[in-house]
Amino acid sequence: MSEVRAEMVANVWKVVAAEGDSVADGDTLVILESMKMEIPVLAEDSGTLTKMAVAEGDVVQEGDLIAIIQ
Amino acid sequence: MLESVLVANRGEIARRVIATARRLGVRAIAVYSEADAELPFVREADEAVLIGPPQPAASYLDVAAVLAAARATHAQAIHPGYGFLSENASFAASVLEAGLTWIGPPPAAIDQMGDKINARNLMEQAGVPVSAGTHDPVADVAGALAAAELIGYPVMIKAAAGGGGIGMSAAADPAQLTAGFETARSRAERFFGSPAILLERYLQRARHVEVQILGLADGRVVALGERDCSVQRRHQKVAEETPSPGVSPQLRERMLAAAVQAGLTVGYRGAGTVEFLVDVDTGDFVFLEMNTRLQVEHPVTELVTGIDLVEQQFLISDGADVSFDPDGVTPSGHALELRIYAEDSKRFLPSPGTIKDWAEPSGPGVRVDAGYAAGNTVTPFYDPLLAKLCLRGADRSEALERARAAVAAFTIAGLRTNLEFHAELLRSAEFSSGDYDTAVVSRLRP
């Protein structure tokens, strides 16, 4: 199981993957936006996305959970 | 002179406009979001009105909230700064309809120049050189591919309603164009509310050189010199200087004349900037776009001319003469601006956080326009600009020396900044020589 966490304070701009999706290492899960820059958050594992912990418009802090892949 | 001005902006530019207002005895009103309550611009205004939560759409871009704040404080005029509502023609019209003074050009000029396709076509008709490009918005990939055949590769894909370097990409062949077109379109829609795309010939080696103009109350347009803004990352400026080391006196004369022509064509009033690309290989220049507002990098022009551009904006908007002789402008010396961003120096990724220490450099020729102070929190909601470090010297060499010392003396702790990058830029052979183009940063970060 791997937890994907936010590396910095940012806004959640787009949620690209959904719970239940099969994801591969390198797939974009969400796109954050911080200071007018888009920051894709990528899966570092392959598996099933069992949890999407954020929604579009949320603000995440450094370390906040974004998704779980199992 | 105006009685009062509400600054519809934040951070360093709000602080800078407020500083001129206070110097001239003009009552200064700030509007701010919850994220900015502790910033210097809020406490330095004569009055400050909280207008909403951090999200720009609910605060700095909220026209109703800004106008309500103006009514509540009996503001006579509104200065929009840069970004946000500064190039929003309908906001300008609303300000005028509310019976307030709009510190900016007529809404029609904002409209005409706000769409890059329209602006290019207008300039072409006026005899201002433009690069090969599309005359109408590109509807789809098929249209893009057809247009690119006529223009010739490589092409630059741009949002017609865009700015800030966002939503631009280059395509060297049909495959890249196909891949880049849809991304460009969705970004254009998301960031600028319009999916319209234009294509332009991409210059392999170019310098971004822009000209500062002032449209005077009597209809004359004067040019106050050029700025070289070729130091960019992600198509956003990081450093600017004047005069441009890449512009000869003859080229300067032609560019300034073209910029004046651009201003006259749209009946321009107030401060504006006409942006050009200089083709390093041929020495030709082409019109890129016009920004119908004050630019971030305006201080370098102020440092070599001795003219306070915000003061001129106030005067012009009030129907008065400018404070200097328009026929007698002679820039002297060399000025440089370094944009200090809240981002790391290696990959330029955003670094929000709380500032623990802040110590600005000072000394002869040093000017710092800072948006933040120690204890402030830099949030992800706005652009990453922390401060503008500006230096003036008798010549470029002295300006560079002062810049190196000033960067070394600038302390910002608590988040990552690009100060280390600027130190590297100033040490680099390419930048030091003055012989650089818009790819200079990519060569420092291959």
pLDDT of residue B81: 98
Q: What is the CATH number of the domain that holds A30?
A: 2.40.50.100
| CATH architecture observed for domain B132-201 | 2-Layer Sandwich (3.30)
Q: Test A8 with B342 for CB contact under 8 angstroms.
A: no
pLDDT of residue B186: 84
Whether the predicted pLDDT of B52 surpasses 90: yes
Whether the predicted pLDDT of B144 surpasses 80: yes
For residue B383, list chain A residues with Cβ-Cβ distance below 8 A: 35-36
Q: Test B380 with A39 for CB contact under 8 angstroms.
A: no
Helix-helix angle B107-114:B89-97, to 10 degrees: 170
pLDDT of residue B76: 98
A28 touches chain B (CB under 8 A): no
Whether the predicted pLDDT of B163 surpasses 80: no
- Segment B287-297 shows an average pLDDT of 96
- Number of domains chain A is built from: 1
**Minimal C-alpha gap between A60 and chain B (Å):** 10
B301 close to B309: Cβ distance less than 8 angstroms: yes
Least confident of B159-163, B202-206, B215-219, B317-321: B159-163
Range of the domain at A20: 2-69
Residues of B labelled catalytic: 293
DSSP state of B76: S
Nearest CA in chain A to B54: A59
pLDDT of residue B193: 82
Q: Test B350 with A8 for CB contact under 8 angstroms.
A: yes
What is the tens place of the pLDDT at every residue in B145-156? 999 999 999 999
B281: exposed, middle or buried (Cβ count in 10 Å: 0-12, 13-18, 19+): exposed
Q: Distance between CA B78 and CA B61 in Å, rounded?
A: 14
pLDDT of residue B334: 98
The domains of chain B are located at 4-103, 132-201, 206-444
- ipTM score of complex: 0.76
Residues 6+ apart with CB under 8 A from B261: B126, B127, B128
pLDDT of residue B182: 87
DSSP state of B88: -
**Minimal C-alpha gap between B191 and chain A (Å):** 9
More confident residue, A1 or B46: B46
Rounded to two decimals, the pTM is: 0.93
Q: Distance between CA B222 and CA B102 in Å, rounded?
A: 20
| CATH number at B4-103 | 3.40.50.20
For residue B384, list chain A residues with Cβ-Cβ distance below 8 A: 35-37
**Minimal C-alpha gap between B349 and chain A (Å):** 8
- Segment B106-113 shows an average pLDDT of 95
- Segment B282-289 shows an average pLDDT of 94
Whether the predicted pLDDT of B5 surpasses 80: yes
Whether the predicted pLDDT of B93 surpasses 80: yes
pLDDT of residue B281: 92
Whether the predicted pLDDT of B115 surpasses 90: no
Q: What values do phi and psi take at B127, rounded to 5?
A: 85, 15
- Segment B156-167 shows an average pLDDT of 82
What is the tens place of the pLDDT at every residue in B375-426? 999 999 999 999 999 999 999 999 999 999 999 999 999 999 999 999 999 9
Q: Test A35 with B380 for CB contact under 8 angstroms.
A: yes
Q: Distance between CA B166 and CA B159 in Å, rounded?
A: 8
pLDDT band at B188 (very low <50, low <70, confident <90, very high): confident
Whether the predicted pLDDT of B139 surpasses 90: no
pLDDT of residue B183: 85
pLDDT of residue A37: 85
CATH number for B206-444: choose from 3.30.1330.10, 3.30.470.20, 3.90.79.10, 3.40.50.1370. 3.30.470.20
Whether the predicted pLDDT of B125 surpasses 80: yes
Of chain B, the percentage scoring pLDDT greater than 70 comes to: 100
